[in-house]
Structure 1
């Protein structure tokens, strides 16, 4: 091995060290709560509908347990999830030196990650393969949900809970696969690594640091990502295509701020920071970035247009043939699931304004999140927002450095392994469609370092069932179980004799 996995890249803070001393009791409490949660109706439904194999039961248990961790920013439960996963893998026979808990500290904000090495015998002479997932989630407010977001609930053919799609299915599936392969006594012909990050949904401190560590110490042949791709299903739940994410848009966030001297609320003035900001946001909402296209997006729409019925499918085919087709652009733009493949998008996501109910606001700030089409450039997007606002008194400030990444290739051996997994799952060949993701993932940081990163998640969903980051996030129960052989087949093809 190129570097010892027993040493973390950075020291934990004193706060985290103290927190770890309390972790054992906390993890046990969460696991007990998870066990009790399936002793009622949901468990009875499981028993009535199917007999689970040991592998299915194990992955379901892991899924249930990690959803119970509120691993969102500010909740300080990512390290508890790390401890739980490390414990499950250690019980399965992974050595301590092959289980690295990583602590990355940035300005006092520490984030844990987990890197797991599955040792191969090196007989292939090939470089290792790295597999990605993220353990954190966008927070969910229990009072807004119909069900407790941090308790796995099975109802009406779905699993409900925060992270059921994004991305705790990936974490549970990959963890369960490593345990399953270890129990089988399988020896890969090259090393395999899991790289689980802890802040993909926020600052990506651990993601960036893990990618750098992987480049310096592992230098993989390529990277496989569980957090994108996946299988699109038709309304009747039949498979349309396996999406293969080879590129993603650049993630960048701007703060739009209106400032004002303020004053007493009984003495309104003609200018007001909140009103000025509201006017700026209205102009941003009315601004449409120009349509962009690439060989990847044209081929994507051409392929998807063959499977999607009706006006939307026809518009996709028309756009692939003529990217200037205004009618096709209008139809695709009206669909939230596909507008991001056409152009850069910017949308307001958060607001902060005023300091007292009886005072004129001295400042008002909106968070505007943008997903930038490759090649457009972050600076040009900032300039476009400033022009759309048309008010020099309102500032547009970029929050953090953006990571721009190139498109990855789709290695033949990955294509063949994925095809075998899909044929086993559906009993017939399923189209594999290269895509550019509108959302951001860990993969951007590996692409930025020059590694082909191919997202081939095992999830399957209809577009109307995608609630990631939203209320009542869910995953089809049958799709959950149907995807549990996915990574075993893929890895045995890529690292087997």
Structure 2
């Protein structure tokens, strides 16, 4: 491709030099336009996917219906534990978390016999599965806490693990008891077959991921104190999805190679308050609303980072020709793409810039009362080019109102980016290609935050992939109503981990 493009430009320059005597003639400019268009189309014509490798799908031993039924029943029991995380820890039922950990011991005897178990933080569980050699280990992650539910809005019970027409209903089926089930079922089965991994494998299960708790950081500190540097860390993240990239309809496995930073900011003003019948010319709420409008009118600068560029390079080759014209010629159409994504908003816009979303507004509790204090809450997701400090300074400069107090109440910068040429990436990629044959495998930048960011302190290869197929409807169920997973998808998750672990 590079040689083709170089030859193409040499040819264009040569033609222009040869015909420079026509520089005062309209034909000269017509030639420029024709040659420019030819260059664009030629690059798009050669911008195609690499020839796909033929990978034979091996059996995993879970194809038997009796085995499947056992996995489903144990998964239903996982869902039945109400391991709900609350920011107000006084609301958390820690007995449910203890019962969940006891269930892991009871239902997976081989795992608990072959592996050592340590407990960390409020609800962290770390298993170590000894390997044959003392090489750098692997960490497989998940979390078993879930977000609260409003059961009145659910079609089926949220914590019964109801199985109906090949679908298992319940909070946590997708986020992320499904992947936890896949990990422990795979390990339990492989231990039963006498399999021993080449190096140690750690199973890191957090019970407070949803509230950014201390389980994962405490586990990381423990591993760090022992001098352990995992060669691969795999946590929740992307999935097998369709129709998420312009012009691509083929199923795509998106593996998060990094995640954006996170930041919560409060804008606050104080005043006299009073009766609304005689308001000042500029109210507290009005001035805060103006500040929000200013922030929305001045979005953060668009930046196609190396991770996103690599995604465009991979996914763009599988797109329609019209989109390949764009993605094959980012040197030309990159600025246009930034404008289009900015106007469109949503996920594609979030891939190329730090986003700012006003999420909370508080003022008076009555319509006829002027509040003595008002505030607005902002949530930011930071690109690697923006830090917590620089973003806070930017907000202050845009608002430019000394009476508005701007406070960051929590946040962290974006994570480092993993290498897609590493052995860990290749093994995850192969397990995906064997489990979901014909699927495109591509890196992407994860927009949400996860526990995996903590492991970047001890590993250069932290990947984020939830090993399951997710439709657009199912993606909307995560943290939403009627969360559920098909039995087929759950079994594919187990099969993926079996195939991955056998390579490690």
What range describes the TM-score normalised by the shorter chain of this pair?
0.7 to 0.9
Supply the distance in 2 between the matched residues of 1:95 and 1:51 (Cα, whole angstroms).
Answer: 25
Residue 113 of structure 1 is matched in structure 2 by 124
* Contact kept? 1:55, 1:176, Cα under 8 Å: no
Report whether the alignment pairs 1:304 with 2:322: no
Pick aligned residue for 2:233 from 224, 236, 242: 224
Residue 63 of structure 1 is matched in structure 2 by 75
Residue 8 of structure 1 is matched in structure 2 by none
Supply the distance in 1 between the matched residues of 2:192 and 2:372 (Cα, whole angstroms).
Answer: 62
SS class of match (1:485): helix
Pick aligned residue for 2:403 from 393, 398, 423: 393
SS class of match (1:392): coil
Residue 120 of structure 2 is matched in structure 1 by 102
Report whether the alignment pairs 1:139 with 2:148: yes
Supply the distance in 1 between the matched residues of 2:501 and 2:327 (Cα, whole angstroms).
Answer: 34
Supply the distance in 2 between the matched residues of 1:363 and 1:160 (Cα, whole angstroms).
Answer: 44
Residue 324 of structure 1 is matched in structure 2 by 334
Residue 181 of structure 1 is matched in structure 2 by 190
Pick aligned residue for 1:150 from 134, 139, 159: 159
Q: Pick closer, same or farther for the CA change 1:125–1:97 going to 2, 3 Å.
A: closer
TM-score when normalising by structure 2:
0.76
* Contact kept? 2:233, 2:459, Cα under 8 Å: no
Q: Pick closer, same or farther for the CA change 1:225–1:319 going to 2, 3 Å.
A: farther
Q: Pick closer, same or farther for the CA change 1:152–1:52 going to 2, 3 Å.
A: farther
Q: Pick closer, same or farther for the CA change 1:79–1:399 going to 2, 3 Å.
A: farther
Report whether the alignment pairs 1:252 with 2:263: yes
* Contact kept? 1:246, 1:453, Cα under 8 Å: yes
Residue 287 of structure 2 is matched in structure 1 by 276
Give structure 2 stretches of 5+ with no counterpart: 1-61
Q: Pick closer, same or farther for the CA change 1:194–1:143 going to 2, 3 Å.
A: same
Higher-Rg structure is 2
Supply the distance in 2 between the matched residues of 1:90 and 1:233 (Cα, whole angstroms).
Answer: 38
1:167 deviates by 1.9
Pick aligned residue for 2:450 from 438, 441, 446: 441
Report whether the alignment pairs 1:289 with 2:312: no
1:51 deviates by 8.8
5 Å-filtered alignment, 1:398-417, equals 398-410=408-420, 412-417=422-427
Supply the distance in 1 between the matched residues of 2:293 and 2:434 (Cα, whole angstroms).
Answer: 50
* Contact kept? 2:128, 2:202, Cα under 8 Å: yes
- Which is further off, 91-100 or 367-376? 91-100
Report whether the alignment pairs 1:72 with 2:85: yes
* Aligned-pair Cα RMSD in Å: 3.2
* Contact kept? 1:70, 1:150, Cα under 8 Å: no
* Contact kept? 2:270, 2:373, Cα under 8 Å: yes
1:86 deviates by 4.1
Supply the distance in 2 between the matched residues of 1:218 and 1:149 (Cα, whole angstroms).
Answer: 42
Per-residue CA distance 1:179-231 (angstroms, 9 max, x = gap):
22233332223221111122222233222222222222361333422311322
Higher relative contact order (CA 8 A, sep 6+): 2
Pick aligned residue for 2:99 from 72, 83, 96: 83
Q: Pick closer, same or farther for the CA change 1:142–1:386 going to 2, 3 Å.
A: farther
1:490 deviates by 0.7
Residue 369 of structure 1 is matched in structure 2 by 379
Supply the distance in 2 between the matched residues of 1:76 and 1:461 (Cα, whole angstroms).
Answer: 29
Supply the distance in 1 between the matched residues of 2:181 and 2:288 (Cα, whole angstroms).
Answer: 43
Residue 37 of structure 2 is matched in structure 1 by none
Supply the distance in 2 between the matched residues of 1:147 and 1:270 (Cα, whole angstroms).
Answer: 51
* Contact kept? 1:458, 1:486, Cα under 8 Å: yes
Residue 43 of structure 1 is matched in structure 2 by none
Report whether the alignment pairs 1:378 with 2:388: yes
SS class of match (2:158): coil
Supply the distance in 2 between the matched residues of 1:154 and 1:316 (Cα, whole angstroms).
Answer: 46
1:152 deviates by 3.5
5 Å-filtered alignment, 1:343-354, equals 343-354=353-364
Supply the distance in 2 between the matched residues of 1:100 and 1:245 (Cα, whole angstroms).
Answer: 28
Supply the distance in 1 between the matched residues of 2:371 and 2:329 (Cα, whole angstroms).
Answer: 46
Q: Pick closer, same or farther for the CA change 1:387–1:337 going to 2, 3 Å.
A: same
Per-residue CA distance 1:235-256 (angstroms, 9 max, x = gap):
9x98533222111111111122
Give structure 1 stretches of 5+ with no counterpart: 1-49, 104-110
1:442 deviates by 1.2
